[in-house]
Amino acid sequence: MAGKLVGIYGASGFGREVMPVAREMFASDDCELVFIDDNPELVKVNGVRVLTYSDFLKHEAEEKRVSVAIADAKTRREIEERCYSDGIKPASVNSPNNVVLDEVQIGSASILCPFVTLTSNITIGQSFHANIYSYVAHDCVIGDYVTFAPAVKCNGNVVIEDNAYIGTGAIIKQGQPGSPIVIGEGATVGMGAVVTKNVAPGSVVIGNPAKPLVRNS
Ligand code: UDP
């Protein structure tokens, strides 16, 4: 019986990127790493065992931890809540080459991929995903279940509310002390967008400068 069992939930694209980082963090004789995936056809991915959630629950270990490597915030929250109510603890997976400067507070279950930088005086909620080459600059406040695709540039004095998704290569302009740029709850910032002013909750913005997406019905 392994002392510690760590499951990376989701054996798709992002999960396969997170697994080697987790291996570097957790690898020891006393710790086994597996994928958890609800697709029963997956047995092994990149040489790592894939367990269904029920098999993960049955597997004997002194301590079980999970990191949910699924970008969609709603799915991630639902899976985490199920796992935690079953007594599984959160695991953060943070690449050893991350740069984290002064006074950074970050909640549980974060995934900080390689080449992520968090500078100084930053507060981040739970289950933050920062994909490769993203940064968060000084005095930002980031909520729960926020997701950064690769190479997001979040400049200083920005507030990002819960469940927001920031697409690949998006740039968020620096706000002012006491007057931050605010990305509202559940908003989506499109790939490559340049955000120069507040984004309304639940909205989708695209382009440079970023503007709300108008859908033709
Ligand atoms: N998945 C799961 N349970 C869920 C939702 C997703 O096991 O409730 C798995 C799904 O089978 C897939 C992975 O998680 O293997 C999610 O992959 P997707 O490509 O949707 O997300 P990404 O890896 O791009 O974040």
Q: From the CA of 72, how far away is ligand 1's center (Å)?
A: 9
Protein residue with least CA distance to atom 17, ligand 1 = 12
Protein residue with least CA distance to atom 10, ligand 1 = 10
Is the pLDDT at 1 greater than 70, yes or no? no
Could you say which of 64, 65, 129, 138 is catalytic?
A: 138
101, 189: one domain = yes
39, 132: one domain = no
- Among 34, 63, 91, the domain-final residue is 91
CB 90 within 8 Å of CB 84? yes
86, 159: one domain = no
53 lines ligand 1 (CB under 6 A): no
- Show the domain range for 73: 2-91
Q: How many domains does the chain have?
A: 2
Give the position of tokens 């998704």.
Answer: 165
CATH of the domain at 48: 3.40.50.20
Average pLDDT on 58-67 reads 96
Is the pLDDT at 2 greater than 80, yes or no? no
32, 116: one domain = no
86, 119: one domain = no
80, 152: one domain = no
- Among 72, 91, 110, the domain-final residue is 91
pTM, full prediction? 0.96
138 among known catalytic residues: yes
**E-only strand ranges, 74-200:** 89-90, 93-94, 99-100, 104-106, 111-112, 117-118, 122-124, 129-130, 135-136, 141-142, 147-148, 153-154, 158-160, 165-166, 171-172, 181-183, 188-189, 194-195
Tell me if 110 is assigned to some domain.
Answer: yes
End-to-end CA distance of the chain: 57
48, 137: one domain = no
74 lines ligand 1 (CB under 6 A): no
Average pLDDT on 133-155 reads 98
- Among 65, 91, 117, the domain-final residue is 91
79-109 per-position pLDDT tens digit: 999 999 999 999 999 999 999 999 999 999 9
Is the pLDDT at 138 greater than 70, yes or no? yes
Average pLDDT on 7-16 reads 98
